């Protein structure tokens, strides 16, 4: 046992005295020590209830003969951090979470880990730690929030952000906005659509790191508590069999994750997180390979923000296992891979059934023959940029128009709220990349306000920042290289024509090469916006978005 480093022999008597200080018994010390990473806090709706999940996990570990030892992980609510300086501190927590778990788990020589995340950056941060540490590891998330009800309409956080634009455009009253505010987010859990948190929790299940049900069972269902108990038992089984994270998260597992991403219509943020997680697991994900997978994977789900169903509906339809069964019918899944159930994907999906073809389209009757995400390349983004095409109005799949250039999210948001963006425009928001932001802000307020004004069918937006999973429209993010390092997006001028052809995977700044060279020669890198603290250190070290914005 790895944990013997902290508890066996005469030289470990001091260590044991410290365990005794916490009330641990000989029996508890003799058993495998399982680190239980609890990201509970009182500022994220997806995390407020996690103590109940943690208690159930610990019960499962004890039932199966282990000793759980809990330690914390931080987390940020992207919704509450949105549209202000706070959002610069969101993506960066992913690395803090991974690094801090590495520190605690190694310092205390845990034998195995159970990770309990829920929201956006906590899931990938923990998956990165799992890949780095390569211990037996099981994930059980907090589960999705139920959808809100407003009159006879169901709604989610997307509607709230879009309503802000509707009020600004005079299409909705402030009274209606306040009424919606009271019912959009009715329970604890990760926001109810196929936004980033749920995307990542679903992908965790596909990777094989979460038990069946991990991605979709609602936070308030008793089945989630039972799942947590099973996760505690599963980690003990993995420990006994010597199954570690990297045996599960191999190259084929990431291919499965990307295929499911395309079928589910996941958040564009998965294209940052999956390469970052793969990097920690020793696997390389290439953006061009992602397009190949998207080209051959049907899009089966249009949950919010692409449609009006929610994660709870996907759960009732059979959840992620039913999605995998649909994909398997097309032969696009590697099914011989091991998962935390101790069984293969083929064994896990044997009895999975699609119980609602309106929510989960059968693979021979998809929403589209191609997947939810497209990576565009061209002179404006030589290293690629990302769009969730399944949440884009069909008329915007091909668009060209004049650039409206902003050097920060704030400047652009003001212009949108003052109704200064017009039909046909291509909004450019730059110096918001991983290094330039710093921290690559998520720009749901801008994209939602445009959608709330009805402009999502007429306006495209491109940025070196990123979006929320709740963003819809021709919102093209992660433009690489970013403006702060002299990427071509830095050279766009007001009125330049930008042509986007999403299904051709192309984005073009229609300015002659010689002119772009002239602009490049006249360009100087801006001074760093932040000069102290973690953000300043992050800005110096972070890689480009096309490689996952990682620190190594």
Ligand X SMILES: CC(C)(O)[C@@H](O)C(=O)O
- 270 or 363: whose CB is closer to ligand X? 270
Task: Kindly tell me which residue out of 195, 431, 491, 505 binds ligand X, with binding defined by CB under 6 A.
Answer: 195
CA distance 219 to 234: 20
Note whether 93 binds ligand X by CB under 6 A. no
Pairing of strands 373-378, 381-388: antiparallel
Task: Confirm whether residue 134 is marked as ligand binding.
Answer: no
Task: Kindly tell me which residue out of 55, 78, 261, 315 binds Mg ion, with binding defined by CB under 5 A.
Answer: 78
Are the CB atoms for 110 and 138 separated by under 8 Å?
A: no
Piece of the chain touching ligand X by CB under 6 A; list 192-200, 216-224, 411-419, 482-490: 192-200
- Interior angle at CA 65, CA 63 and CA 66, nearest 5: 105
> 319-329 and 196-207 are packed helices; what angle lies between their axes, rounded to 10 degrees?
60
CA distance 115 to 98: 11
Note whether 469 binds ligand X by CB under 6 A. yes
Minimum separation from the CB atom of position 342 to ligand X (A) = 32
Classify the phi-psi angles of 285: left when phi > 0, otherwise alpha if psi is within -120 to 50, otherwise beta.
beta
CA distance 515 to 521: 10
Residue 267: name its binding partner from Mg ion, ligand X, none (Cβ under 5 to 8 Å by kind): ligand X
Give residues 223-262 in contact with Mg ion (rule: CB under 5 A): none
Pairing of strands 460-463, 373-378: unpaired
Note whether 337 binds ligand X by CB under 6 A. no
Separation of first and last alpha carbons in the chain: 30
Note whether 547 binds Mg ion by CB under 5 A. no
Residue 372: name its binding partner from ligand X, Mg ion, none (Cβ under 5 to 8 Å by kind): none
Q: Pick from 196, 233, 530, 208: which is nearest to 388 by CA?
A: 196
> 122-133 and 196-207 are packed helices; what angle lies between their axes, rounded to 10 degrees?
30
What is the four-CA torsion angle of 345, 347, 349, 350, rounded to 10 degrees? 160
- State the DSSP code for 9: S
Binding mask 43-82 for ligand X (x = CB under 6 A): -----------------------------------xx---
Task: Kindly tell me which residue out of 95, 255, 312, 442 binds ligand X, with binding defined by CB under 6 A.
Answer: 442
Catalytic residues: 468
Q: Pick from 497, 300, 504: which is nearest to 397 by CA?
A: 504
Task: Kindly tell me which residue out of 201, 216, 269, 544 binds ligand X, with binding defined by CB under 6 A.
Answer: 269
Task: Confirm whether residue 513 is marked as ligand binding.
Answer: no
Residue 192: name its binding partner from Mg ion, ligand X, none (Cβ under 5 to 8 Å by kind): none
Task: Confirm whether residue 457 is marked as ligand binding.
Answer: no
Minimum separation from the CB atom of position 441 to Mg ion (A) = 10
Minimum separation from the CB atom of position 467 to ligand X (A) = 7
CA distance 13 to 27: 16
- 160 or 206: whose CB is closer to ligand X? 160
Piece of the chain touching ligand X by CB under 6 A; list 137-145, 206-214, 242-250, 466-474: 466-474
Binding mask 95-134 for ligand X (x = CB under 6 A): -------------------------x--------------
Task: Confirm whether residue 121 is marked as ligand binding.
Answer: yes
Residue 81: name its binding partner from Mg ion, ligand X, none (Cβ under 5 to 8 Å by kind): none
Between the alpha carbon of residue 391 and those of residues 84, 178, 302, 309, 504, the distances in Å are 25, 26, 8, 13, 17
Task: Kindly tell me which residue out of 197, 202, 217, 550 binds ligand X, with binding defined by CB under 6 A.
Answer: 197
CA distance 202 to 123: 10
Minimum separation from the CB atom of position 337 to ligand X (A) = 27
Note whether 267 binds ligand X by CB under 6 A. yes
Which residues contact ligand X by CB under 6 A? 78-79, 120, 157, 191, 195-197, 267, 269, 442, 468-470
Which residues contact Mg ion by CB under 5 A? 78, 120, 196, 442, 468
Feature table: binding site: 78, 120-121, 442
């Amino acid at each position: 046992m790895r944990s013997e480093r902290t508890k066996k022999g005469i030289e470990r008597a001091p260590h044991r005295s410290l365990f005794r200080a916490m009330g641990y018994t000989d029996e508890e010390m003799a058993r495998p020590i399982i680190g239980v990473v609890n990201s509970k806090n009182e500022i994220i709706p997806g995390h407020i209830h996690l103590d109940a999940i943690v208690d159930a996990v610990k019960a499962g570990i004890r039932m199966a003969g282990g000793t759980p030892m809990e330690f914390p992980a931080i987390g940020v609510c992207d919704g509450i951090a949105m549209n202000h300086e706070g959002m610069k501190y969101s993506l960066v927590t992913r690395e803090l979470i991974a690094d801090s778990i590495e520190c605690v788990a190694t310092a205390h020589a845990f034998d195995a880990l159970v990770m309990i995340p829920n929201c956006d950056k906590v899931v990938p941060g923990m998956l990165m730690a799992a890949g780095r540490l390569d211990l037996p590891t099981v994930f059980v998330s907090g589960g999705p929030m139920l959808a809100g009800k407003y009159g006879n309409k169901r709604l989610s956080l997307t509607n709230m952000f879009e309503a802000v634009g509707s009020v600004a455009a005079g299409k909705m009253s402030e009274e209606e906005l306040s009424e919606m505010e009271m019912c959009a987010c009715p329970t604890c859990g990760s926001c109810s659509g196929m936004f980033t948190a749920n995307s990542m929790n679903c992908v965790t299940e596909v990777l094989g790191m979460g038990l069946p049900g991990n991605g979709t069972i609602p936070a308030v269902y008793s089945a989630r508590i039972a799942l947590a108990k099973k996760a505690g038992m599963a980690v003990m089984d993995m420990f006994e069999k010597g199954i570690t994270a990297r045996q599960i998260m191999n190259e084929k597992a990431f291919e499965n994750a990307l295929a499911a991403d395309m079928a589910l219509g996941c958040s564009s943020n998965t294209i940052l997180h999956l390469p970052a997680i793969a990097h920690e697991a020793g696997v390389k994900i290439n953006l061009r390979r992602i397009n190949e997978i998207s080209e051959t994977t049907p899009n089966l789900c249009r949950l919010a923000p692409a449609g009006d169903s929610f994660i709870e509906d996907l759960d009732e339809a059979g959840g992620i296992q039913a999605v995998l069964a649909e994909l398997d019918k097309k032969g696009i899944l590697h099914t011989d891979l091991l998962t935390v159930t101790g069984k293969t994907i083929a064994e896990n999906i044997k009895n999975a059934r699609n119980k609602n073809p309106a929510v989960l389209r059968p693979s021979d009757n998809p929403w589209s023959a191609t997947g939810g995400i497209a990576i565009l390349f061209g002179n404006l983004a030589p290293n690629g940029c990302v769009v969730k095409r399944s949440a884009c109005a069909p008329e915007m799949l091909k668009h060209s128009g004049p650039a409206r250039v902003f050097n920060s999210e704030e400047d652009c948001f003001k212009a949108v709220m003052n109704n200064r963006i017009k039909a046909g425009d291509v909004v450019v928001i730059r110096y918001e990349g991983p290094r330039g932001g710093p921290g690559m802000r998520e720009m749901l307020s801008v994209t939602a306000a445009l959608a709330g004004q009805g402009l999502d069918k007429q306006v495209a937006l491109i940025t070196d920042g990123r979006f929320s999973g709740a963003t819809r429209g021709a919102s093209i993010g992660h433009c690489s290289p970013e403006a702060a390092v002299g990427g071509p997006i830095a050279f766009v001028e007001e009125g330049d024509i930008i042509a986007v052809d999403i299904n051709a995977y192309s984005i073009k700044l229609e300015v002659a090469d010689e002119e772009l060279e002239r602009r490049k020669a006249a360009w100087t890198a801006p001074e760093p916006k932040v000069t102290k603290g973690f953000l300043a250190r992050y800005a110096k070290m972070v890689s480009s978005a096309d490689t996952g914005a990682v620190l190594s």
